């Protein structure tokens, strides 16, 4: 336990030195409220910045949702994902059936019912295109349906894709910002496409203007 905490502090310190990460709470404040933080996704380091921007007491209650295929690939990754970040590892192969032990929504719902907050990426995979966002997967909507009292907070991460470009080994030091927006909740009769569009709009509203 002590070693995993030490590694977590070291990773956050390294991230701060490399990115100068700055948290901007534009639509809400850090508070002991159960939340699902959903963000744009361009790097494996995305959740590290969000997690690191939370106060220490909130970090202990917040679990990143991540792909088991990546974090179980080696003993070191497994230790970092499972023991350091307490990540909720999801099987992305599509083999799990709805409501089953490997169903992503069922796993996230169980974590929320235990009192955890979550960090997830509704694009489902890293965005390496020129588009600002990829289409959202429906998981965030299904999670909102079964966890109606939880706040869904959009988070825009800026510049990390330039710090850690895909395929590069050596990161490039650049200033990164993590902007937290106004929490959303699912409307009583809100349709899936409407909720996904609202989540997407809430996230894009936090993005810096295109040059």
Using a pLDDT cut of 90, give the percent of the chain over it: 61
pLDDT at residue 200, as a whole number: 97
> Tens of pLDDT along 113-151?
999 999 999 998 888 888 889 999 999 999 999 988 899
First to last CA, the chain: 45
With respect to residue 160, please indicate whether it lies within any of the assigned structural domains.
yes
pLDDT at residue 100, as a whole number: 47
pLDDT-derived band at 19, boundaries 50, 70, 90: confident
- Give the total number of structural domains in the chain: 1
Angle at alpha carbon of residue 51, lines to 147 and 209, rounded to 5°: 90
CATH number at residue 6: 3.40.1130.10
With respect to residue 209, please indicate whether it lies within any of the assigned structural domains.
no
With respect to residue 211, please indicate whether it lies within any of the assigned structural domains.
no
> Tens of pLDDT along 70-123?
889 999 999 999 999 999 999 876 554 444 457 899 999 999 999 999 999 999
- Domain that includes residue 135, residue range: 2-204
Angle at alpha carbon of residue 145, lines to 100 and 72, rounded to 5°: 40
> Tens of pLDDT along 164-184?
555 554 454 567 889 999 999
Q: Which residue has the higher pLDDT, 111 or 211?
A: 111
With respect to residue 25, please indicate whether it lies within any of the assigned structural domains.
yes
pLDDT at residue 173, as a whole number: 54
With respect to residue 182, please indicate whether it lies within any of the assigned structural domains.
yes
What is the residue-averaged pLDDT of the chain?
86
Q: What are phi and psi of 190, to 5 degrees?
A: -75, 130
With respect to residue 99, please indicate whether it lies within any of the assigned structural domains.
yes
With respect to residue 124, please indicate whether it lies within any of the assigned structural domains.
yes
User: CB–CB of 40/122 below 8 Å?
Assistant: no
With respect to residue 210, please indicate whether it lies within any of the assigned structural domains.
no
């Amino acid at each position: 336990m002590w070693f995993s905490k030490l590694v977590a502090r070291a990773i956050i310190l390294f991230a701060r030195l490399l990115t100068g990460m700055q948290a901007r709470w534009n639509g809400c404040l850090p508070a002991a409220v159960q939340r699902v933080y959903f963000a744009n996704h361009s790097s494996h380091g995305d959740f590290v910045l969000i997690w690191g921007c939370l106060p220490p007491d909130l970090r202990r209650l917040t679990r990143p949702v991540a792909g088991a295929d990546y974090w179980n690939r080696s003993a070191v990754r497994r230790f970092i994902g499972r023991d350091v970040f307490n990540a909720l590892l999801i099987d992305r192969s599509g083999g799990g059936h709805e409501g089953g032990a490997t169903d992503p929504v069922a796993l996230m719902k169980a974590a929320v019912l235990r009192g955890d907050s979550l960090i997830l990426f509704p694009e489902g995979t890293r965005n390496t295109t020129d588009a600002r966002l990829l289409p959202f997967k429906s998981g965030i909507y299904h999670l909102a349906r079964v966890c109606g009292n939880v706040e869904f907070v959009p988070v825009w991460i800026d510049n990390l894709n330039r710090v850690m470009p895909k395929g590069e080994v050596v990161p490039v030091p650049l200033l990164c910002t993590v902007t937290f927006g106004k929490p959303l909740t699912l409307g009583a009769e809100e349709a899936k496409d409407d909720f996904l569009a609202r989540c997407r709009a809430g996230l894009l509203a936090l993005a810096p203007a295109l040059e």
